[in-house]
Chains A and B, each alone.
Chain A
């Protein structure tokens, strides 16, 4: 199955790969303050520091497959570069340092300052992504749902229904493929152009929805018939405990966040 399989089993990779042993909720709670800082930060060092922290944690504490590492090491810098330039081009030049002009086409001027703002924005987004990966790359869908039911007291009917709904995604993908080839064979009326395209997509949606609603009804009946929702709680075969180490992880992460923020403040 792919890396995005929401149902894959939790695997234990030993004590060094500690992220896999933590409660998913701890891995979400720990970077929250850092994420808040990133949302308001405007400089370059802050996102770089948090990016470094996230990378260090993933490198030590997570077992990632080669493809994901490749995406992180090659893909992320590329993403930063592309976003820096495009954000830079869009930045309002009124508010930036205009001492160095990189490019001038007619009335348009691209300043180094604009590019710096673009870079800062790109880095913020990328470090938010990296912090999200701490939980995203090391937790499984069922574990997250179990943790939400067990610790956050989310009603299990909601949590497990959401999980069951994941199963719809590949099914609908396949169904859409069939519908598209069916419609193509019939030939489309209404000609070419954007309006015809919209109508065409609406045609797919009607077919897809009709099938989806019927499927969802059947799944619901099957779940009812297997006692889903019969009682206020259900047996949890897999406990996802919230242990001392989860608290410690959160505390240390928050402390590190504070340390980064304070130390960067002191550097002028």
Chain B
């Protein structure tokens, strides 16, 4: 390691994967200085994660790819050194906490890296203790990592990176698989690391609302993998708003809200990045009255109540209790879901959200008489009846693929229902067209891209004509762009009359798309009502959840009380 070399220098880096077209990233150069916290941004497919994997040589050493240009870590070219030896200079934290754990106790896990580097025992122990203390897990050093929450396991992964002793830490989407509580834990730990100084951090993250407080520099890649912007995060985001939006980069919700208000004629001097800044900016200016909007809202509410009276409720849950072994997963849940609702079921991990969704959809058999979908009791229904009433989309679409081509996969539900072959052909063709999968008809479902797999799983759930669609964390592990594409699809289906029920952690998604929210805490339904009402109250906090960023900003307003209950972008003027 040459003295004074920058922790990271990337020179004209181009990476070409054999299975993809072109180079992403393409001809990228930048230098990261000691102590900097750098955010890598870009739309899906711009090569952010590829770049992250190239920073410690995993690309091309472990993942074959054509690499041009150079990556220098502490002055050492990744081409000259093995991934293992480079780990003293650059440590990695990946997206999925589960696939980073290799041993049976926290202590063994943190010691694993230093042991591989042949660090003497006394120093291994010292490093392990310091790293575990830094992430607040020292007290649990003897536990099995499986007993930690998702956020806890990801903190453990950060401790493992710290124990390697490398001054540069690269985090590739570290919070994409976590619930809001886990995301907060990770950013609290990173905050402390940054405040303590001594570490240089490169962060790939699409959740800008969580990361924005932490980073001081942003590097943005465009869709072709070229470097578009590089500079202080505030300058980069606020001076290039239009270009970033056109590129498909997601801005913080507070910024988006301010842009919308500006278009509506609200005078805002500087665009905000965080909820706190947005609240301050709005308090300092004159806002149009929101009376008109709320009258409109009242009218809408009246219309929807009258609709409720006409149509029978689509799904009724009464006194639903689900136990597994000695554990009670759900206790005495009563829930009515109206036809055409877009219901979001939220709650902390282990609260019973997924169990509730699965019991409604008959994935796990609910006790007889506790759930009815229209006239149907899923506890007594066979697969055919169930498929015609409610479609279920699992978190991982691959789990539910059972046939060998996309076309057969769609036809499956109809074949089981013994639909006439001509009719099957007609409906499959229509579904393929609807979801943009015509060209993929004869390929194996596992060979589709992530977004296509998700669309196919929604298609298979709907093809038997089910008026209700239930989805378990449909945006888990996906970036904003893919998540938005799926949600727009769901919103469209909902507008056409499909009742949509989602289990999700993403509160801004809830605010922007759901018409009603059900909060589950500790196996019980603690709150259920129209989204605006639920988000305006304190039920979310009581259940251990955080309101979405926009709601946080609006609640902090002191001069505009009428605005405090706003939580969705669409409700802004």
- Interface, chain A (partner B; CB < 8 A): 1, 5-9, 141-142, 160, 163-164, 167, 170-171, 175, 178-179, 181-189, 203, 206-207, 210-211, 215, 218-231, 233-237
Contact B146 A170 (CB under 8 A): yes
Nearest chain B CB to A258 CB, angstrom units: 39
Of B410-418, B429-437, B493-501, B555-563, the segment with at least 4 beta carbons within 8 Å of chain A is B410-418
Q: How far is the CA of A89 from the CA of B99 in the complex (A)?
A: 50
Taking the complex as formed, is B144 at the interface, i.e. its CB lies under 8 A from any CB of chain A? Answer: yes
Known interface pairs A142-B104, A230-B85; A187-B413 also in contact (CB < 8 Å): yes
B84-97 vs A: 1/0 string, CB under 8 Å? 11011001101010
Of B20-28, B106-114, B214-222, B366-374, the segment with at least 4 beta carbons within 8 Å of chain A is B106-114
Nearest chain B CB to A98 CB, angstrom units: 52
Selected contact of B114 from candidates A9, A170, A235, CB within 8 Å: A235
Known interface pairs A211-B396, A235-B118; A227-B99 also in contact (CB < 8 Å): no
Q: How far is the CA of A231 from the CA of B100 in the complex (A)?
A: 20
Closest-by-CB residue of B relative to A211 is B398
Taking the complex as formed, is B401 at the interface, i.e. its CB lies under 8 A from any CB of chain A? Answer: yes
Taking the complex as formed, is B383 at the interface, i.e. its CB lies under 8 A from any CB of chain A? Answer: yes
Known interface pairs A1-B144, A211-B398; A7-B104 also in contact (CB < 8 Å): yes
In the assembled complex, 22 residue pairs joining A and B whose CB atoms fall closer than 8 Å, in A order, are A1-B144, A7-B103, A7-B108, A179-B399, A181-B358, A181-B363, A182-B363, A185-B363, A185-B383, A185-B386, A187-B416, A218-B99, A219-B100, A221-B62, A221-B63, A224-B61, A226-B160, A226-B164, A228-B112, A231-B84, A235-B119, A237-B111
Nearest chain A CB to B481 CB, angstrom units: 21
Count: A-B pairs, CB below 8 Å: 163
Taking the complex as formed, is B138 at the interface, i.e. its CB lies under 8 A from any CB of chain A? Answer: no
Q: Assign chain B's interface to a size class.
A: 35 or more
Across the interface, which residues of B come within 8 angstroms of A222, CB to CB? 92, 94, 99-100, 102
Closest-by-CB residue of B relative to A179 is B399
- Interface, chain B (partner A; CB < 8 A): 53, 56, 58, 61-63, 82-85, 87-88, 91-92, 94, 96, 98-105, 108, 111-121, 124-125, 142, 144, 146, 160, 164, 358, 361-364, 383-384, 386-387, 392, 394, 396, 398-403, 412-413, 415-416, 446, 460
Contact B400 A227 (CB under 8 A): no
Contact A188 B402 (CB under 8 A): yes
Contact A227 B401 (CB under 8 A): no
Q: How far is the CA of A235 from the CA of B104 in the complex (A)?
A: 17
Selected contact of B103 from candidates A164, A210, A211, CB within 8 Å: A164
Across the interface, which residues of A come within 8 angstroms of B392, CB to CB? 185
Nearest chain B CB to A168 CB, angstrom units: 10
Contact A224 B84 (CB under 8 A): yes
Q: How far is the CA of A218 from the CA of B96 in the complex (A)?
A: 8
Contact B85 A186 (CB under 8 A): no
4 additional contacts (CB under 8 A) given A1-B144, A227-B164, A231-B84: A5-B144, A185-B361, A185-B362, A186-B413
Q: How far is the CA of A211 from the CA of B396 in the complex (A)?
A: 10
Contact A167 B87 (CB under 8 A): no
Across the interface, which residues of B come within 8 angstroms of A223, CB to CB? 102
Across the interface, which residues of B come within 8 angstroms of A228, CB to CB? 84, 112, 116
Across the interface, which residues of B come within 8 angstroms of A163, CB to CB? 102-103
Nearest chain B CB to A9 CB, angstrom units: 7
Contact B94 A221 (CB under 8 A): yes
Interface centre among B101, B386, B396, B412 (most CB of A within 10 A): B396
Closest-by-CB residue of B relative to A230 is B84
Across the interface, which residues of B come within 8 angstroms of A160, CB to CB? 102
Known interface pairs A218-B96, A235-B121, A237-B124; A186-B400 also in contact (CB < 8 Å): yes
Nearest chain B CB to A209 CB, angstrom units: 10
Across the interface, which residues of B come within 8 angstroms of A215, CB to CB? 98-99
Q: How far is the CA of A5 from the CA of B108 in the complex (A)?
A: 15
Closest-by-CB residue of A relative to B128 is A237
Across the interface, which residues of A come within 8 angstroms of B144, CB to CB? 1, 5, 7
Contact B116 A189 (CB under 8 A): no
Contact B84 A178 (CB under 8 A): no
Known interface pairs A181-B363, A225-B58; A167-B85 also in contact (CB < 8 Å): no
Nearest chain B CB to A134 CB, angstrom units: 23
Q: How far is the CA of A9 from the CA of B88 in the complex (A)?
A: 29
Q: How far is the CA of A123 from the CA of B555 in the complex (A)?
A: 76
Interface centre among B94, B102, B403 (most CB of A within 10 A): B102
Nearest chain A CB to B392 CB, angstrom units: 6
